[in-house]
Amino acid sequence: MNEIERQKHILLIEDSPTQARYAGLLLEDAGYRVSVAPTGRLGVEKAESESPDLIMLDVVLPDLDGFSVCRCLRHRLLHYVPIIMLTEQRTAIEDKVGGLGVGADDYLSKPYNEREMLARIASLLRIKQVIDELHGRLADEHQSYQALKRIALVDQLTGLYNRHYFSEVLTREFSLALRHGNPLACVMTDIDYFRDFNTCHGHLAGDWVLRNTAGLIREMLRHGDVIARYGGEEFVMVLPMTESHSAVELGERVRAAVAAAIWHHPEFGALEITLSIGVAALPLPDVTDPQRLLACADQALYRAKNNGRNRVESFIVQERPSSLPAAPARGATRQ
């Protein structure tokens, strides 16, 4: 037996002190660690608290029969543990089949043949090791998938969703809004004078502002709202079931919160940060695709910039969305 097998823990659920001592000595001599439970209930408790690698379970117990204990173990244990049921040689084949039916992996008849017992235990432990390794690989693959998914969908600087994922969400929510006749708002926001800020203080300070601005805005949104970093210093939000006036109110709360926040950089001290915000919301005439709605919000944002910054503007229908410029590309900056 190799060194890994010698470290395995076996729980023996056996009410006979003589049988328990006999089996325990055989197992300990073979290098296993053994614990004993004289009743079915205590056996279940030990199985849950001690996490044994294998359980040897007597069919006849003073409180519960072995079939009930086996069924309970399979229901309550969160991971696979092999179970060998111990029975008298005269036990009918129906009892053995019944035990296998409630979750036992094997049977041993009393009195045991020492070599047979150890061989059956070693075989089941090898099977358990394969199953445990498979579960471990599956868990690692799931974690790797989640990590890759996060990389693919999340902006690494701010922790917000990225532009690609936002486009998927906007397309989905736009389709739902048109199908059911529900309102849908799109909000674009831009940090004022951010290019000058980066030139004066450097990109590390700019990154600090982006992270903190993103966190502040995110805290003000509802559970179903989605915010993403759209590019450079721009953030964009999609607000399901939100009419234009409600989106403007949210934009004003966000703008006011950023303007009133105490921005104290550890190196540059007190800073003044403000936002310009543009809002567009369905229903809108001639807006029949999600990119047109985004362009309407972008047009309103331009007006907020042109009207003095640190303000919220809503898209005006007379501006005709068909003539709107395309939304700026990732990384583009707007003074």
Tell me how far apart the alpha carbons of residues 242 and 250 are, in angstroms, rounded to a whole number. 10
Q: Is 233 a catalytic residue?
A: yes
Q: Are the C-beta atoms of 284 and 317 separated by less than 8 Å?
A: yes
Question: Looking up tokens 């010698």, which residue turns up?
Answer: 6
Specify whether the backbone of 94 is left (phi greater than 0), alpha (psi in -120 to 50) or beta: alpha
**Catalytic residue (choose from 5, 14, 28, 233):** 233
* Token pair of 39 as six digits: 């009743």
Give dist(CA 15, CA 324) in Å, integer: 83
The residues annotated as belonging to the active site are 233
